[in-house]
Structures are given as C-alpha cells and as structure tokens.
Structure 1
Amino acid sequence: MSNSINQLIASELNVRNEQINAAVTLLDDGNTVPFIARYRKEVTGGLDDTQLRNLESRLGYLRELDDRRQVILKSITEQGKLTPALEAEIKTADSKTRLEDLYLPYKPKRRTKGQIAIEAGIEPLADLLWSQPDNTPEQTAEQFFNPEQGFADTKAVLDGARAILMERFAEDATLLDKIRRQLNSQAELTSRLVDGKEHDGAKFKDYFEYNEPLKTIPSHRALALFRGRNEGFLQLALNADPNQDEGVRGSYCEVIIADHYGVKLGTAPADAWRKQVISWAWRIKILMHMETELMSALREKAEDGAMQVFADNLKDLLMAAPAGPRVTLALDPGLRTGSKIAVVDETGKLLDTATIYPHQPHNKIAESSKVVLALINKHNVSLIAIGNGTASRETDAFVAKLLKDNNLKVQSVMVSEAGASVYSASELAANEFPNLDVSIRGAVSIGRRLQDPLAELVKIDPKSIGVGQYQHDVSQSMLAKRLDAVVEDCVNAVGVDVNTASAALLTRVAGLNATIAQNIVNYRDENGRFDARTALKKVGRLGPKAFEQCAGFLRIMNGKNPLDSSAVHPESYAVVKAISAANNKPVDAIIGNTDFLRSLKAADYTDADFGLPTVTDIISELDKPGRDPRPEFKTATFAEGVNEVKDLLPGMVLEGVITNVTNFGAFVDVGVHQDGLVHISALSDKFVSDPREVVKAGDIVKVKVMEVDLQRKRIGMSMRLSDEPGQEKPTRQPRDNSVRPARSQPQSQPRQRDNGNAAMGGAFAAAFANAKKK
C-alpha cells in the first residue's frame, strides 16, 4: 500500500515517483524538512520546503486512511460479510468519507427500528413492495403480522418495512456519493436569526437573513457563521434546492434516489407508499447526515484557510528585516505606572533599566528627559524602540523632541508589543531574568525584537503574536502544528549563531529539542564560546543524527574554520577543500571571492557523494557566506499631528504599515491606535483574488483615508490613491461582510490594540466592530 500512497502523492504534487519515494524514506529515517530541503536536493530531485511540508501532511492523512482501511476490512471479515466486490471498493476508497460510507452497513451500532423489523421477519415485505409495486401494501402487510415482536397491525408492519428501506438507502455508499456531489454543486447554506436575539446578536446582523452557495463561501465568512451559531445567535441549515419554485414539494435529491434504484413512480398500488419511503429516507435520514457532514467539511476547509492565513502572516512577520546588532534603548510606554526603560547591547544583553513619568498624571517631562539622555550617552545608544501600546504616540513625541533638542542622531522606531506581556510572565522570562520586574522584561523584549524579530518572537507562542484570522475558532492542535512548522522553516532559513542564541531559538533548529538546546546553552556557559561546529558533539544528548540535522543551520562566527560561519554543511567541507586544492587557493581566499567563484563550473567538483545541486549551492554560499535572506530594514514615517482617529480626515494620503492580511483585505496602521481596512477591492486597480498577491505583513504602503467613523473607530482606506471619498467606485469583486480577524502586530511600527473578534457588515465592517483602544 505504501507504493500506491507514494504514487498518489507524486501525482498530486506533480513530481516524479522517485522524488516522493526518496523524500518519504528520508522522513521515515528521522530527517527534518529543513535538512532535507537544504542538504538532500539531489536525493529528492530538489523538492523545496513547501512541497515537503505538503508531502508530510498528505502522507500522514493517507497513512491514517490506510490504517482505518485495515481496521474496516478486519471488522467486515470477522462478520463474514466481506465479498470480493466490497473488498475491492474498500481498497480503492480514496478518502475517509468514502471509506466510512462503505462501512456504514457493517458498522456496529445500537439496534434500530429497521433491525428490529428485520428480526421480526418484515424484510421480505419491504423488498416485495419496493420491487413489485402492483402489490397493495395494506393487504400484503397482513401476511407479516408478528404480535410477539410488536408488529400486530398493518400500520406497524408497514412502518417497519419503511424503516428497513430508509436505513438501507442511508447506508448505500454509491447513492450517498451521488447526493453529496449534487449538494456540493447546488446547495446553499442558510442562516437565520434565533428568535429574540436581535439585540444581543447585533454584531451578526448581516447573517440574520443570509444565503450563499455552499461551494463559494470563503473561509472567513464560514467561520463567522459558525461562530454566530456557537454563540447562540444564528441557526444554520442546508437548503438542498435553492432554485426550486415556491410551492414545489419534495427535493431533487428524491429524484436522485428514485433514479439510483430505477424506480418510476406512477399509479401502481404501492407507488404512494414507495414515494413516502423515498421522501422520508431523504428528509429524515440522508439530509440530516449530509447536513452534518457537509457543514463539518466546510468548517474543516475554512479552518484550513484561516490557518494558512495565519501561517503566511507569521512567516512575513518572522522574516521581517532586523535592525541589526545595535545598542538599543527600549521604552514600554505607560501613563499612571510610568514608562519602563531597558537598555540592551548589540547582542541583546541587558545593560540598564529605569522608569520615567513624562505623561499624565505625573508630567515629569524634564526629569524624564534627563534620565533618557543620560542612558543614551552612558551606553552610546544608536536605536530607540518604543512599544506601540498605551501612550505610544505621546512617548514617540516625547522622544522626538528630546532627540531634536539635543541634536542626537539616534533612530526612533515604533515596535509591536504583541505577545510581550505573554513573554514577560512566562517561565522562560522568569529563568532569564529572575530578579527583574515583569514590566521591565516586556521592555527588554521590545528592544530585542527590533534588533532581531525572529530571535525574540520564537520565545512567544505563535498564537499570541496576533497575525491570525479567527485563530480561536480553529483546531488549536492543528494550528499549533502548522505554526510550529512555519517557525522552524524561518529559523533554519536564516541560521542561528550558536554562541549568542537563546535556548528558545536553538530549540527551533532542525534536529534539536528543548533539552538539547538547553544543554548547548549550559555547555556554552560552563566552557565558553564554541570555536568550531565539531565542538557541538561534546554537548550532552547531541548525538550523530542530531548533529547531522542541525550543524548546517548553526553558525560559528570568527571560529577556527571559516566555513563554520556559512551554510555549508560539515559533511560537504571536502568539496570546498577540493576546490581549494584544484585552484591552489586557501579556503579563506575563496570565501567571498565573487569573480573566482563565478568562474567555477560546479560539474567539475561533483562525485558519487556530492551531486550538482549540492555543489552549486556550496559555490553560491561561498560567494555570500551566512547571508541573511531577510530584507533591508525600513520603517514607516507616520504623519505629524495625526495621533488619534479624530485627527483623520477623508482624503488624507498617509504612509502606513501592513499589519495583517486576511482573505478579504489588509489592515494598515497609520499611527492612530486603530488599524484601518483596505478592502480587497481597494488594494489595486486590477482584479485581486488574493490580497497577498499585492501586500504582505510588514509592507510600507501609501493609503488614502476614505471613511472615518469616530463613534465606532472605523477607518476605511484605499490603496487606489485616485479614489475619492464619498464617490462610489466600480467594484471589481464582491465586498465581504465578515468577522474581524485577530489583530496583527508586525515588529517595527504598529500600535497594540484589541485582538478581539466580532462580526459586522458594510464595506469596511470587518476592521472596526468591537475594536477598542488599548
């Protein structure tokens, strides 16, 4: 069965069977996705990390399917009911749904009305009336009376016969598949208000009278509907015949049932009874089953879409540009309790702390200025990070004046506080700073995430970073697995300095776990910095397999071997030595020698162990050893005097930063403590099917303010700068009424705001409902 699984995956990914076979073998041998993607290209034919993640996920599903298949085959065999035809159908079932359909008639279940009727000898009557409608039901039923088992009159007997057929139809896998295809193609999901819930459920008002084809409901709208139902405001149902004329009774699915069994209803004595059987089988048995199944499938698909949105945004956030190793003064703004300060050095080590009170109700501006100025001069600060929560714009203005008054060339940047409080109260933070106040720990996190967002954000549960869409409505275990894979891929794509990395960051390196990561830190603390990758082998529990997986992603800066600071894997050092020997150049003279490296032909240095993909990657890496794939550090410039929603006016063109991208648009921070929404239809003059085609989290963009609602703090924006407020523009695609996603918080500009979710309508509704200034 494993061969057929691999062949199916190869077909789905549109790659060769050999590639899948090789990748599956590597995964089964305990190799990680980052390691395979980077260092086993010739083995897999160059499968990248995305393909490998899809392969890994699909492989798990198909193996679970195969395990379930074996359980079902065993069960039916033990019942003595497995026929060659049934066995063939079960073995070729390509989904869990199809497999369970086939198993329905044989699945152990409590005694049903149909089973009781069969035990009472009623089944021959059901078959007779169904196949020979010329028989009169009432007269024929008299032959099957069985008072001892509860079938003492005509009604009871005919009810029993009907129950037998209804259950038989509801367990017919082929019939169910026909009906399922019909419903997926034509059915609508309907939503209606629960009586008496108009006021409490007002945030779901767009779904009080709502219908949409099942096949076209986007993930964010589906999750909004399910949330409305779960909170008791909406009733959801499946309308199998949305195009049916009013007054028409019955469903087209009843026609499918009749056609499936070759039944033509006319005026025969049993036809009225047979029609009732079909109608009841559909409405009572099959419809209920299908409604539950299809809604479950819709939710699963919607959750997958929401998790992908979160994963994509998280990747953009983690791969955001780092400010780099610069001494940083971090400010966690506050009013009554003051603003907390932490100064960290180039490596993120805490140097100094303080608390200032420049804002109301204290207004100790002069005293606060002296404290900040002294810290800047004492530690030669070159960067100031300001948390984007309460009093952030006031603090930004305070710092700007201080820098201007003292003619200081220090850069000040707004930094997202998302998750900082989670980190501050965590066991990890307590271990790192046991004697430090929780609020100061938050300031440290803010400063470090500006220096290197990836290194700091890995310390926080990804779900707390707040770049998701309906993150609390999806399977938390599946979400965690998806996000963990994103973090792992990002960390390994960038690489980790083993001599400065935290245990939290090391844990995300391929081949390492929390125990080994802590052992690396402990070894480093006890023995000093690592001077070579080979020294890692001395770390407790870091065996040969773990070393193979992690070595290429760990960097030794200024170590004994210059290759240790690159992404060249130690197993491939022989290739570099061969290049060095063949060209009579020392290794350190090769590294960074662009002209020389570009003159090389990778094929000249391949052998049985190292193929062309590996040698090509090695030469490319030698050209720019340890290069960081993240973009250049840039910041948005917020308009002076625009600090709150009330400062916005329709028509303003502002610079802002994309904080979150959803299926229905993008949220933009322009520095007013409340993000605005650029709906998908206003992202571009061209049709946009996916907002990520145009923007991603962290992008700096120009937007025009189109609509401002002060009461509800709603801001509508457009990236089509030719748009004019108040003028209706041609809509190239439908606007969505949906649930607001979790607030996003990229690392270097936006404010911290409410991460709540609420349902609303209107063109810009998704951005604004239930949004509060922190």
Structure 2
Amino acid sequence: MQSIVDIIAQELSVSSNQVNAAVALIDDGATVPFIARYRKEVTGGLDDGHLRHLSQRLTYLRELEDRRQVVLASIEQQGKLTAELKADIEAADNKTRLEDLYLPYKPKRRTKGQIAIEAGIEPLADALLDNWNLDPELEGQSYLNKEAGFEDVKSVLDGACFILMERFAEDANLLQKLRKHLLGQSHLTSTVAPGKEAEASKYQDYFAHSERLANVPSHRALAMLRGRNEGLLQLSIDVDPGDDNKLYSSSEGIISNHFGLNLSDQTAAAFLNKVVRWTWKVKLSLSLETELLGQMREQAETDAIKVFSTNLSDLLMAAPAGAKVTLGLDPGFRTGCKLAVVDNTGKLLHTGTIFPHQPQGHWDKAIRTLVNIFQQFNVELVAIGNGTASRESDKLVGEAIKASASIKPQKLIVSEAGASVYSASEFAAQEFPELDVSIRGAISIARRLQDPLAELVKIDPKAIGVGQYQHDVSQSQLSKTLDDVIEDCVNAVGVDLNIASIPLLTRVSGLNKSMAQNIVNYRDSHGKFENRNDLMSVPRLGPKAFEQAAGFLRISNGSNPLDKSGVHPETYPVITKLIEQLNQPIEELLGNKAALRKADITSLTTESFGSITVKDVIAELEKPGRDPRPAFKTAEFKEGVEKISDLKPGMTLEGVISNVANFGAFVDIGVHQDGLVHISSLTNKFVSDPREVVKAGDIVKVKVLEVDVHRKRISLTMRMDEEVRMQKQPSARTKKVQKASNKQGSTKSANAAMGNAFADAFAKLKK
C-alpha cells in the first residue's frame, strides 16, 4: 500500500521528501502562506497552489486511512477477513471503493435475503447459480419451511432470488463496472413537473432536456438540481439513451457477464434472468442513479466553488487607488445621497446627506455642498456606489468638479455589492456606533476604492456578488475555500500593522480574531508600533504566532527600515552579513538593485539559510514592501448611456468585468444591468475557460450585440468584428408561458420568468 506522502507526491509530481517536509510543517501549526513564503528551503520551493492541494488531500487521505482501519477491524471481528479481501481494502484509493468492499460485511437491518438464509435456503441459491440445468421448481420442494414462512415453492424461490440479488448487489467489482458504464453512456434527462409549466417558466430550457451525464457543465447541473429541489423539474438517468426497447437493459447485460451467466434455454435460465433483472431494477438502478446524481452535484459544486474562489481572488487583488482623501457617495433618490469623507488612512472625517434627485430635486444646492467638501478636505477621489441613481449621481459629481475652481478630484463608479452587509455588521456597529447604516455604507464605498482588499475582508464573501449558484453548494466547503482565498490574498499583499482593522489582521498568517483584537487594543493604548519586536508585548501573542505572522506585518517609518519590507525578522542576520559584505548601510541598500546584485550569495548562505532564502531576501530588498496588485486604472462609462433602454445594437462601450462564469463573463457597462459576453464572443480564438481571457475587475471594450429591454437581457461581444443580432420576437410557446405566468399573478413578471436560471440567480445576488 502506497503511503499518504507517496500518493500526494505522485499527484503533485514532486518528491516524497518535499511532501514529508510540508506535512511536518502543517502538523506543527504552520500556515500555507508562511510555508510558501518563508520555508521554500525546507519544502524545495512548493508554492501555495501545491500546498493547498497537499493540505486538502492530506485531510482526505488521513480520513480514508482512519476509515480503512475501522473497516478492517470490523471484518476481522466477524472472522471473514481473508488475505485477498485485506489486500483489496488496503488498495482502495477512495472512500467509495472502500465502502463498496465493506458493503457485504456492514451491519445492516434484517433483509429478505438474510431471512431466507436463516431458513436454510442459501444452498438452493448456490445450487441454481452453479448448475443452470437444475429445475428450480423441483429443487425448491426440498426447502419448504413453514415455521419460517416459506410454505410453498414460490416463496422458497423468491427467497433464493433475494439471496442472490443481495449477493450480486454487494459485489464491489460489479459496482465499479456499472458506474463506469453509466458514466460513459447514460444521459441526464430533465422534464417539467406535471402542471408546473407556468410556475417553472424560468426553467423552460430544461422542460425536455437530455444530455450525456459526463458532459453536464456545472451551471446547468446546478440549475436543474435547483429546479428539482423547488419541485418544478423531474430528473432521471437514462441508462440506454435512444433505445426504445427497454425490455432488457444494457446494465443487466453487464451483471450477467460479470457473473458469467451465458443463459439461453437452460432449465434455470428464467429464474437466473429474473435474479439479474431484479438486481438491477430493485437493488441497483435507483441507488446508482441517486449516487451518480450526487456525484454530479458534488462535481458541479466543486466547479462552482472554484469559479467563486477565482473571482473572489481577482476582486480582492484588484488595484487599489491608494492612500488618498476620498469622498464616498452612496446614491439614492427618495432618501438622498449619503456622503462620507475619509482621509488617506481610511479615517472618517465628515458625513452628510444631499438630495439632488427627485422628489426633492435640490440639484444646485447639492453641487454647492460637494464643491465645499472638495475644498474643505482637499478631496482627491470620489467613489460613487453603482446602485440606484448611480449614473445620475455620476453626472452630479461631474458638474460639481467642473464648478470647483481649484480642487478637481477624480470620480469613479465603484461596486457597492456587500456594502449594506458591512453597514449592518457587528464590526461596523462597533466602529461607528453613532452613525446610521446608510452612512456606514458610504464609508465602505470610499474605503473600497482606496484599498479593495482591506475593505472587502470585512464582508462575508458570499455577499460580494461574484459567485455562481453559491446558495446551492456545500456551505461548509464554500466557506473553507473562500477563507483560504482571503488568507492567501491578504498575506500576498501584506498588512500595515499600524492602520489595519481587526478583520484584516484576523486573516494574517498565525493570527486569530482574539489576537487581532489584542493588537488593536495594544495599538490604541500604547500608540503605533515602532518595530515588529513590539508585537511580543501584545497579550496572548506568543513566539509561534510571531513566527507565522511577523513577515506579513509591515511598519512604515518605524525604527527598523526592514520592518516595512517582507523580509522575515528571522532572516535579519542575513541582512547584517550583507551590509558587512557590501559595506553600505541598509538605508542605501533598500531598492538599490545595482548594489544588491553585487552580493556574493554563496558567502551569505549558512546551515540555517540556504541559497533560496538568501535570493528571496535580496529580491525583497530590491523592491521592499512591493505590492503584487496591478496599477490602478478605471473604466469610463459612456455619457448618455445610463439605462438599458439607452443601449443600441452595434454600440461600442467600455465596462468592467463584474463576474466570470464557465460560460462567459458579465460586464458592468453602467446601466444597472450587467451584460453577458458568451465564451464564444470573448476572443476570435477558441478558449475552454473564460479566465484565459478575462478576470473580475478587468476593464474591457465591448460591443452591444442584442438588447432585450423587456427581459433585461444584454448580449455583448469583445470581438469587434462580430455582427449584431436582430431583435428576436417572442415565440408562440414563450407567449403562452408568459400569459400563464401572468394569469397566476407572478410577481416576477415575464422578463424574470423567461430569464435562464443563472441570470435570475445572479441578478438576485447583485441586488
């Protein structure tokens, strides 16, 4: 049996020594970001991708091994553990295979087969299986047992049938063959639930849908599963698609072949064919269908979570506008536009409310207010939330900038997805207990422009609006994956120890919420941290936490210039030797590539710090505290295009990628309804994954292909040579479904009713 380490090493195409080293570090409490950044020497350069896979597989394989020992012990206690069975169990490389092997020995409720065995009928079953020329009716006469309830030959033969059915259905190798067969040829079929046509109109693409099970993409799988859960769709697996003769299933043929039952006109053939047929129809077809649908769901969830995590990573790693005085504007009509000014560190300076839009319509007064705020606080950026009245507010801010004589801030429309969640959160209430939730939202919008990562970590990632069917997937798996993504992003960028919030510090390697709270409390009572060693004075932050966290915590203008870099304090002795070797103070070496490249790496290496570590230290000194995020740039929404009715086919626009799915990318073009660029319209070349071309936060140029104002559907392309589409008229079927939906008083109206499942889910999520 391969060891867990060897299995993972083979999967990652690395050495067992590398995996052993990483496992030892993980078991010792080291985090993935810490190992990937500061233990390259130990692991031979395993990156965070390798380490995340390693960590997940380590957990799975250890659980598998624990279960294997339980299974072996249970079968051994029953006195049924043969050498062959033990070898099969030890060779099982996944939980499904292990449970298949355990199935015949697993304690279970008393079955019909067991009752027949207790009545002494098993020899009959064995005899008929071994000799097909025996007459079942004649042989059954010898096994009558009135006390056990087998009073006639029919009940005796039924008992023999149940014995063989259970034996066949618990054969692990047969189950493997059937799974492979079903995955290879079966189709997933979806039909509308009887009488639910109008109610299920948003799922009309799946009213009579069939496709190969192995090819169902995650978004379609999750859409159909949601429809089934809502009682609107019925799903099943068609084992023999296109075969109208259902008298004999191909699966029954596999069962017969597996047990060598080449039956024709033998005396016991009818009995054994009945066993095979019942094994499939009664014992296996339903359970395997349920299992395969479950596997499809799990794979679809895995794919959806991967989509979510990739989009979240792109969003968190979006370019920050930087440390600039920023005015956040949360737009609104009736309740007015909420204003919040924050300084270059995100500290709140001023709040207010203006009412430029109807019904109040104080446009000129609002402009004067904005101009005064620009001048009073030297505002450099204006962040406008992209919700209701955003384009109208964008126009307002534009006029205010023109009216401002000296201060000319840059205006940008910013996604406000999740801002309301932060506003009502416990953390926001603690930070701004005296402020209304809507004002807190404006603060969040301003800070999100300054530093998306620092602000978004305060919000549940499921509220940010970049997921795909996020409410239909395993919430525990989703949360774990998204937590890993946030941890990787935060530690890749680094955290300013003297201004970081509790939620941001919580995500730093080695720290937890209580440690983060203690750091902030210490900072509030003792003033800013002068160097990283001050962390050792923070209550409950011990040497292990310091080791894991210190390299990711930065101090600007502190007593030690190295503390603003990503150089870990444990490697400061290397810097001391480097200073002596180059005969220059650290202040002159920081950022001095020419001087640093003269360093003799060999003479700087020691038993503790090898060449990989030394090279990393020098690379960090060349660009101390470098930010891996891209340079900041913004999209310019087209003037006069403020709502979906302003769009015309052929129009060229600039927009921001708001979400990426397996089938394409959604683009915010400033009309309160994201447009969809199908994967085939992303580029002139074939791509299998939209992320090969775009990612969330990218600024792109698109052309409008088609606009359906009624259904709020916008089709876009990034291929400028692609021809626009003529507006499609609703089909007779569409009109019929629409009419039925309206008769039922649907609150969604026809446009939402006719939208596909993903578009509906995404629109709800964005709201």
Give the TM-score range, shorter chain.
over 0.9
Query: How far is 1:71 from its partner?
Result: 1.1
Q: Which moved more, 1:288-297 or 1:94-103?
A: 288-297
Hey, what's the Cα distance between the residues in 1 that align with 2:635 and 2:597?
A: 37
Structure 1 counterpart of 2:309: 311
Structure 1 counterpart of 2:394: 396
Paired amino acid for 1:377: Q
Structure 1 counterpart of 2:289: 291
Counterparts in 2 of 1:49-128, with a 5 A limit?
Answer: 49-128=48-127
Partner SS state of residue 572, structure 1 = helix
Query: How far is 1:350 from its partner?
Result: 0.4
Hey, what's the Cα distance between the residues in 2 that align with 1:771 and 1:481?
A: 25
CA contact (8 A) 2:637 2:653 kept: yes
CA contact (8 A) 1:637 1:656 kept: yes
Query: How far is 1:726 from its partner?
Result: 2.4
Counterparts in 2 of 1:473-488, with a 5 A limit?
Answer: 473-488=472-487
Hey, what's the Cα distance between the residues in 2 that align with 1:239 and 1:366?
A: 67
Aligned residues: 743
CA contact (8 A) 1:679 1:718 kept: yes
Paired amino acid for 1:200: E
Structure 2 counterpart of 1:145: 144
Hey, what's the Cα distance between the residues in 2 that align with 1:601 and 1:685?
A: 49
Partner SS state of residue 71, structure 1 = helix
Structure 2 counterpart of 1:41: 40
Partner SS state of residue 31, structure 1 = coil
Query: How far is 1:264 from its partner?
Result: 0.8
Structure 2 counterpart of 1:732: none
Counterparts in 2 of 1:465-614, with a 5 A limit?
Answer: 465-614=464-613
Matched, 1:358 2:353: no
CA contact (8 A) 1:715 1:768 kept: no
Paired amino acid for 1:460: I
Query: How far is 1:598 from its partner?
Result: 2.2
What CA deviation, in whole Å up to 9, does each residue of 1:294-327 have, x standing for no partner? 1111111110000000000000000000000000
5+ long unaligned stretches in structure 2: 728-747
CA contact (8 A) 2:581 2:599 kept: no
Structure 1 counterpart of 2:737: none
Paired amino acid for 1:343: V
Structure 1 counterpart of 2:273: 275
Partner SS state of residue 597, structure 2 = helix
What is the root-mean-square deviation in Å for CA atoms of aligned residues?
A: 1.6
Partner SS state of residue 558, structure 2 = coil
Structure 1 counterpart of 2:424: 425
Query: How far is 1:601 from its partner?
Result: 3.9
Partner SS state of residue 695, structure 1 = coil
What CA deviation, in whole Å up to 9, does each residue of 1:468-498 have, x standing for no partner? 1110000001100000000000000000000
Q: Which moved more, 1:117-126 or 1:78-87?
A: 78-87
CA contact (8 A) 1:188 1:239 kept: yes
Query: How far is 1:290 from its partner?
Result: 1.0
Structure 2 counterpart of 1:681: 680
CA contact (8 A) 2:468 2:758 kept: no
5+ long unaligned stretches in structure 1: 729-753
Query: How far is 1:78 from its partner?
Result: 1.6
Hey, what's the Cα distance between the residues in 2 that align with 1:164 and 1:601?
A: 78
Structure 2 counterpart of 1:380: 378
Hey, what's the Cα distance between the residues in 1 that align with 2:636 and 2:684?
A: 25
Paired amino acid for 1:38: R
What CA deviation, in whole Å up to 9, does each residue of 1:556-591 have, x standing for no partner? 111111001000000000111101001211111111
Query: How far is 1:602 from its partner?
Result: 2.6
Structure 1 counterpart of 2:9: 10
Query: How far is 1:604 from its partner?
Result: 3.2
What CA deviation, in whole Å up to 9, does each residue of 1:487-526 have, x standing for no partner? 0000000000000000110000000000000000000000
Partner SS state of residue 599, structure 1 = coil
Paired amino acid for 2:350: D
What CA deviation, in whole Å up to 9, does each residue of 1:535-555 have, x standing for no partner? 100001110000000000000
Structure 2 counterpart of 1:718: 717
CA contact (8 A) 1:336 1:361 kept: yes
Query: How far is 1:147 from its partner?
Result: 0.8
Hey, what's the Cα distance between the residues in 2 that align with 1:713 and 1:90?
A: 56
CA contact (8 A) 2:703 2:717 kept: yes
- Distance change in 2, residues 1:603/1:249 (3 Å): farther
Hey, what's the Cα distance between the residues in 1 that align with 2:178 and 2:761?
A: 39
Query: How far is 1:243 from its partner?
Result: 4.5
Identity of counterpart residues, as a percentage?
62
Structure 2 counterpart of 1:24: 23
Counterparts in 2 of 1:106-505, with a 5 A limit?
Answer: 106-244=105-243, 246-407=244-405, 408-505=407-504
Structure 2 counterpart of 1:664: 663
Paired amino acid for 2:87: A
Partner SS state of residue 654, structure 2 = strand
Hey, what's the Cα distance between the residues in 2 that align with 1:443 and 1:496?
A: 23
Paired amino acid for 1:114: G
Query: How far is 1:253 from its partner?
Result: 1.4
Hey, what's the Cα distance between the residues in 2 that align with 1:649 and 1:357?
A: 31
CA contact (8 A) 2:711 2:752 kept: no
State the TM-score, normalizing by the size of structure 1: 0.94
- Distance change in 2, residues 1:87/1:521 (3 Å): same
Hey, what's the Cα distance between the residues in 1 that align with 2:245 and 2:753?
A: 34
Paired amino acid for 1:486: V
What CA deviation, in whole Å up to 9, does each residue of 1:97-136 have, x standing for no partner? 0000001011111111111111111111111111111111
State the TM-score, normalizing by the size of structure 2: 0.95
Hey, what's the Cα distance between the residues in 2 that align with 1:150 and 1:339?
A: 81
